[in-house]
Amino acid sequence: MAGQGGSSAAPQRGSGRGVVISDDWPGYSLDLFTYPQHYYGDLEYVLIPHGIIVDRTECLAKDIMQDIGDNNIVVLCVLKGGYKFCADLVEHIKTLSRNSERSISMKVEFVRLKSYHHDQSTQDMQIIGGEDLSKLTGKSALIVEDIIGTGRTMKALLNNIEKYKPKMIKVASLLVKRTSQPDGYRPDYYGFEIPNLFVVGYALDYNEHFRDLNHICVINDNGKGKYKV
């Protein structure tokens, strides 16, 4: 699987549960894919094409079914970036459940976490909709997130949820970003481990733009400047 720059090795399945995309992975040329015309000139390259995202999401659904099937689960979707991944993951789990002797009963709740300003993570994290977390008391919870970097935001959310004494908490994230903290937080399930890049698409945004981009792409300086607020 060649990228835009030639013969660098394709992403590999890691020893954990995610596909590891190396720092020297050149990605795919934008010319190979369709994407909204209003983003022409705003992106460097496609890091993960939409089809590969869909396939990995189905694999994660199988892992989740294998581990926590026969449970009643409260799915806690972290908005806004997690809505697309969550919807697709839940749909895959529902399909597997219908065709399996094991089944998962799911209810979906929503919470918003705010910790980014432009492309920089901030020290402060706000939980919006946290009053609904009391519904997790005594329940099995699956938190669904779009991307985890340092893990600081997720740890803060988990600390908040644990106050309500849920029966079980599992975390699924589409992306895990490699940071300068090698011992940082790792979710129970994740699709891809990616370099420390700012990525957009598949509902991941930059100041509310790029959510309508199907592929996960790396934004360029022109895009950051155009949509800076």
DSSP state of 27: -
Instruction: Give the confidence band of 104 by pLDDT, cuts at 50, 70, 90.
Output: confident
Q: Considering the domain boundaries, does residue 7 fall inside one?
A: no
Q: How many domains does the chain have?
A: 1
Q: Considering the domain boundaries, does residue 4 fall inside one?
A: no
The CATH number of the domain holding residue 56 is 3.40.50.2020
Q: Which of 9, 172, 45 is nearest to 106 (CA)?
A: 172
Q: Considering the domain boundaries, does residue 2 fall inside one?
A: no
Half-sphere exposure (Cβ direction) of 220: Cα atoms closer than 13 Å: 10
Lowest-pLDDT range, 62-71, 171-180, 202-211?
A: 62-71
Q: Please, what is the Cα angle at 198 between 195 and 200, to 5 degrees?
A: 115
Structural domain that includes position 131 = 12-226
- For 21, residues 6+ apart whose C-beta sits below 8 A from its C-beta are 11, 47, 48, 192, 193, 194, 195
Enumerate the β-bridge partners of residue 199: 218
Helix and strand numbers (H, E) in the chain are: 4, 11
Whether the CB-CB separation of 191 and 64 falls below 8 Å is answered with: no
Which stretches of the chain are DSSP H helices? 50-68, 83-98, 152-162, 221-226
Instruction: Return the pLDDT at 101.
Output: 79
pLDDT, average across residues 108-135 = 67
Q: Considering the domain boundaries, does residue 186 fall inside one?
A: yes
Instruction: Give the integer Cα–Cα distance in Å for 201 and 21.
Output: 17
Q: Considering the domain boundaries, does residue 3 fall inside one?
A: no
Full-model pTM = 0.85
Q: Considering the domain boundaries, does residue 1 fall inside one?
A: no
DSSP state of 81: T
Instruction: Give the integer Cα–Cα distance in Å for 53 and 153.
Output: 23
Whether the CB-CB separation of 153 and 125 falls below 8 Å is answered with: yes
Over residues 174-209, the pLDDT tens digits come to 999 988 665 678 899 999 999 999 999 999 999 999
